Each structure stands twice: as C-alpha cells, then as structure tokens.
C-alpha cells in the first residue's frame, strides 16, 4: 500500500474550512490502496498527528511518504510555502507547484499574468499599504482618501469589489457602492493584506470550472453559484443554507465551451498542475465572460464545487482523489 499524508488545518483565516475539507478527503480516500497519515496544523503552526500529539520530526515523516495531499486553503498552504518544503524533501504532492501556487494566491499578480495571456478580466486598481496607488508601471503614488475615491470613479466607476490580494473564501471582501463604503472596505481589506485589489463589479452570473491534469489537463462542465446574499461572501458560502449551486450552469452550450477553454488557458498560463478551480463572471448585459480568479487548492467540503463538478462528469469523490494522487506521482 502507498503511504499518503493528508495535511489540513493551517495558520490562515481559512483554518476551519480546511479542517472540514481535510476530514472529507480522509474519509473518502480508497483505504484498499492507501495507508493514510493525518497531519493537522494548528492555528499557531504546530504539526499534530491524528491523536493530537505534536510531531517532532515532520521532515523525517514526510520523507517516508509516497505522496502528500495538502488540503490547506489560503496563506501558508496554498501560496507555495508548503509546496517549497515538499520540493526540498523530494516528496510527490497533490496540486500545483511552487510558482503557480504563489502566483494564484496573490490576486494582483494573477491579474498581471491574465493580462499577458489576454484573458478578459474586470478593470482593477492596486492599492498598497492603505494609501499607495501602484500604477501599470508599478510606480507607487501616495494618495489621500478623496484622491483614491476620485481615481476609482475615473478608472472603474462604482460599484466595486474591494479584496485583500492574499486571502481566500471571500475573507475581507466587500462591495462598495460609493466613496464612503470604498474607504471603509479598503481599511477592512488592509487588515488581511497590505496589498488590496479594487475591482470593477461585473453584474451577472458567477460560474466555476474545475481543471484536472498536468500537461493534458481537462476541464469539467461549468457550475453556477446562486448566492443567498448580494455577493458570494464567506457567510453566503458556508453559513447561509439558501446559497445553491447549479450544475451545469444555465448557459448556452457554446458559452460553457468558451468558459472551459478559458479555464484551460488560464491554468496553463500560470503553469498549473494537478488541479485548480477557475472562477468566472458572465456579464448579464453582454454575455461576455470575465475571469475572476484561480484556486489551486479548492474546497473539498460536502458542498464544494470542485468535487461536485467532477461527480457530474461521472467521477466519484474517491475516484477523483485517486486520480489526484496518481497525478502527483506523475508530476514528480
């Protein structure tokens, strides 16, 4: 039997969601194929075994594994840090490698890649340290609050979404309809990251596409998010029972195909491997597709879109996990 370590928890704001995802992965792994080692990282960074005992030599334990399955959402898990550790240990692991993980965790730099790849996306402004506008040449210009509001009015127009550059599960994300809400949202997002994205609000459908594979990556059909709130916030995702997903999305076949092709293009643009969930907006007025972001370790909870999309394609949760582990060993 192959030894597989599942790492979950972590030090990010998404710790609790990672606990649920990790337990689901463990419960659904094929026990006839894999000897499973549970590793939980606490919020303060301690590595614990399944009996809640601290692991003294984690590097030695990892070296004994045939593959590692990180189910760590957000910083210190989805951002290239643990991927770098596993690379140094020469251990195969599920998911994207160091470069693509770090790029996709940072919304600002993901947008730079999308621009280069000519993938349509919403207009945006990058603010650093709460009051520095970073222009297209990456020059920093210090602005007062009223100047930031004016800049947004001129370059984007309200409403806008304000997001920490490095965060997930919509933590720290707010919608601002005017200058006062913008400044308040900017302060809130700055709690989570010194880099903040101010982004055009695209009115329309919010849809997601799952990508699976390495060089021969395949895209699933497209799923649609029906948020119970104004936008798909943390509470709407995990707390509000009225939020729903529709698979496949209520879109024409040709639009679904367009999104699938863009998902693969985005995955390749960031040098992805293993898996990713690629999120898009379909503008209500024009039907135009805009990419939102890539998640390199998407949720694996019972309500998560990534496994549901592949289930729709006839791949069970357990089969999907087996495929991901096989891809990790192929990648290495």
Give the torsion through C-alpha atoms of 168, 265, 80, 61, to 10 deg.
110
Instruction: Please spell the DSSP secondary structure of 152-199, one letter per residue.
Output: HHHHT-SSEEEEESS--TTTT-EEESSHHHHHHHHHHHHTT-SEEEEE
Say how many C-beta atoms besides its own lie within 10 A of residue 99's C-beta: 13
**Spans of the chain, pLDDT less than 70:** 168-169, 228-242, 332
CA max distance for the chain = 63
Residue partners of 244: CB distance under 8 A and separation at least 6: 226, 228
Q: What is the pLDDT of residue 169?
A: 59
pLDDT at 250: 95
DSSP state of 29: S
Name the packing angle between helices 15-28 and 317-331 (round to 10°): 100
Residue with tokens 């590692």: 68
Domains and CATH numbers, the chain: 2-94 (3.40.50.20), 104-119+203-331 (3.30.470.20), 124-200 (3.30.1490.20)
pTM above 0.85, yes or no: yes
Residue whose C-alpha is closest to residue 167's, from 78, 279, 281: 78
Site of tokens 């965790």: 105
């Amino acid at each position: 039997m192959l030894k597989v370590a599942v790492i979950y928890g972590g030090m990010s704001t998404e710790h609790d969601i990672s606990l649920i995802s990790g337990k689901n992965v463990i419960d659904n792994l094929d026990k006839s194929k894999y000897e499973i080692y549970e590793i939980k990282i606490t919020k303060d960074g301690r590595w614990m075994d399944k009996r809640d005992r601290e692991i003294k030599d984690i590097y030695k334990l990892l070296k004994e594994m045939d593959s590692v399955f990180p189910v760590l959402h957000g910083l210190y898990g989805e951002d290239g840090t643990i991927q770098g550790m596993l690379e140094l240990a020469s251990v195969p692991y599920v998911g994207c490698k160091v470069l693509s993980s770090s790029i996709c965790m940072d919304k600002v730099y993901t947008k730079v890649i999308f621009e280069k790849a000519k993938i349509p996306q919403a207009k945006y402004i990058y603010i650093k340290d709460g009051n520095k506008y970073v222009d297209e040449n990456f020059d920093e210009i210090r602005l007062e609050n009223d100047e930031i509001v004016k800049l947004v009015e001129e370059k984007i127009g309200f409403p806008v979404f304000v997001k920490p550059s490095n965060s997930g599960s919509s933590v720290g994300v707010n919608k601002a309809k005017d200058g006062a809400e913008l400044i308040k949202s900017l302060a809130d997002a700055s709690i989570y990251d010194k880099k903040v994205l101010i982004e055009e609000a695209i009115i329309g459908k919010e849809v997601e596409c799952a990508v699976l594979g390495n060089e021969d990556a395949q895209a699933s059909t497209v799923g649609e998010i029906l948020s119970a709130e104004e936008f798909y916030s943390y509470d709407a995702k995990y707390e509000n029972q009225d939020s729903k997903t529709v698979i496949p999305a209520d879109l024409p076949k040709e639009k679904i195909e367009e999104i699938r092709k863009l998902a693969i293009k985005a995955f390749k643009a960031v040098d992805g491997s293993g898996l990713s969930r690629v999120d898009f907006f379909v503008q209500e007025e024009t039907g135009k597709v805009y990419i939102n972001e890539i998640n390199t370790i998407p949720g694996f909870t019972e309500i998560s879109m990534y496994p549901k999309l592949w289930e729709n394609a006839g791949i069970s949760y357990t089969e999907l996990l087996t495929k991901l582990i096989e891809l990790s060993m192929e990648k290495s």
